Amino acid sequence: MGNALKLASWACLVFLFSLSLSGASSYTFYVEPTGGNVELGIQQKDISLERIYFNLTGQDSQFVVKVYKVDSNSERIYDYFQINTTGLKSEPQLVVFDLRVNRSWLIQNNVDAKTITFYINDGSWKTLTMIPFSEDAGFLHYRVSSPKLDATFALSGEPVPVTFTVTSQCNRNGLCEPENGEDRDTCPDCVSRAASPMCVPSQKYCFNANYLFVCDQNGTEYRFEECTLGCVDDACIAGAVGPVTGMAVASNPVFILVVAVLLTVVLYLSVLVKRMRKEIRKAEEKKTSYEDVKAIVKGKD
């Protein structure tokens, strides 16, 4: 009687006839319900699915759960399987899978364990969250909650990132040696301009888009010049040089306008000065004539 009560206390008693022979491509479970939780175990090496848990309500007849192993030619897909059900009156309220991944597969296929992902396809592929459950010498074990039981599933991983080592020509001796293939793009010895007076002879580079730095012929220091039209591709933008150093006459209409205005103002001032001098001269002549007439009048008296 006690054993009968224990069996009845299980939400669902699984009376299982399983075609889970070694190397089989499908596993068929015939389930006799008593209402409630169902637990199905699969212990086969050719499938990642270890155990299925789900919850049923209102199921009063036998139903069938089939797990189909699907072959895949991709070395990145660890497992690909499909679950079909027959005789279920409603969709399970809760579906949980226990999965395992063989460590040897990760090593043989150069797969990063951090990228292992479980997918469901119930009309379109979606990612399901995998929770690490446990691990041992041979396998990594995960637990996954699924929205459906009757669907297609896949377990895959991505390759381990490859780290490339770039071999530099720089010998890091504190000297910039262009003759040995060192330059400011690959060697710190040529980049640290502020910390070291050493530079590559005749080397040029733009600074702040308006200045051009040029290393002297001895490679001991930089000199710089202001680029009025800007600095691009390690050179000042070229232009014809006018009266103002660095100002481009031919290519700068503003400069031409300024010069024209200045010339107009100078010409106007010149004319104005001439007129003023002429008027001053006339005034002085009138004053002289007046003084002469006054002197003559005094003499007659």
> For a pLDDT cut of 70, what percent of the chain falls above it?
70
Query: What is the per-residue pLDDT for 163?
Result: 61
- How far is it, in rounded angstroms, from Cα 241 to Cα 245? 7
pLDDT digits (tens, 9 = 90+) for 236-254: 887 643 343 444 444 456 6
Burial class (CB in 10 A: 0-12, 13-18, 19+), 52: buried
pLDDT of residue 144: 93
Lowest mean pLDDT among 35-39, 79-83, 242-246: 242-246
Instruction: Answer yes or no: is pLDDT of 129 > 80.
Output: yes
pLDDT grade for 82, boundaries at 50, 70 and 90: very high
Q: What is the pLDDT of residues 102-117, one digit of tens each?
A: 999 888 888 888 899 9
Q: Which residues contact 112 (CB under 8 A, 6 or more apart)?
A: 106, 157, 158, 159, 160, 161
More confident residue, 191 or 187: 187
Composition of the chain by helix, strand, coil, percent to 5: 25, 30, 45
- When pLDDT is cut at 50, 70 and 90, the band that residue 101 belongs to is very high
Query: What does the pLDDT read at residue 146?
Result: 93
Predicted local confidence at residue 3, as pLDDT:
40
Kindly tell me if the per-residue pLDDT of 139 is higher than 70.
yes
pLDDT at 249: 43
pLDDT, position 17: 35
pLDDT band at 23 (very low <50, low <70, confident <90, very high): very low
Position 162 scores a pLDDT of 64
| Position 120 pLDDT exceeds 90 | yes
Tokens 């399901």 belong to which residue? 128
Residue type at 28 in one-letter notation: T
Q: Report the relative pairing of strands 204-207 and 151-156 from DSSP bridges.
A: unpaired
Output the pLDDT for position 36.
79
User: pLDDT digit string (tens) for 140-169?
Assistant: 999 999 999 999 999 998 888 766 555 556
**pLDDT exceeds 90 at position 277:** no
Considering the chain, what is the average pLDDT of its residues?
Answer: 75
Cα within 13 Å of Cα(216), Cβ side: 7
Name the class of domain 2-156: mainly beta
CA–CA separation, 294 and 301 (whole Å): 11
Looking at per-residue pLDDT, the higher value among 127 and 13 belongs to 127
- Residue range(s) in the chain whose domain bears CATH number 2.60.220: 2-156
pLDDT at 222 over 70: no
